[in-house]
Amino acid sequence: MTKVEFIPEAREEFIAEVLFYEAAQRGLGARFSSSVEKAASLVVAFPNVGSPAASGTRRVVVKGFPFWLVYKPYQSGRIIIFAIAHQSRRPGYWVDRVS
């Protein structure tokens, strides 16, 4: 069974964006959360579906929002999510998180 883990920084980004979108429009935070969950489910089903990114990671689009889900699949069946990264802000800021 594949296990998805958010590193703490990615979890904080996720929560911050949910709160931001919810404050902007009621229900939008839930839509963002749902889109991230769908992206994570896609990665679980097809670990190599994402486009190759820096430091051996991959990324998939969070549908309907300008974000990437940046992750790395491991042989053990684990998938680590390193960032919920905006597509045009601070490119590569998360690279130092990948060990």
Query: What does the pLDDT look like over 65-80, one tens digit per residue?
Result: 999 999 999 988 899 9
| Confidence grade of residue 84 (pLDDT, cut at 50, 70, 90) | very high
With 0.85 as the threshold, say if the pTM is over it: yes
What element of type H or E holds 24? Answer: helix 8-24
CATH 3.30.2310.20 fits 3-89, yes or no: yes
- pLDDT digit string (tens) for 16-50? 999 999 999 999 999 999 999 999 999 999 999 99
Under 8 Å CB-to-CB from 82, ≥6 apart: which residues? 7, 9, 10, 57, 70, 71, 72, 94, 97, 98
- How far, in Å, CA of 83 to CA of 91, rounded? 11
Please report, for the chain, the start and end positions of each structural domain, with discontinuous segments joined by +: 3-89
Q: Between 62 and 77, name the one with better pLDDT.
A: 62
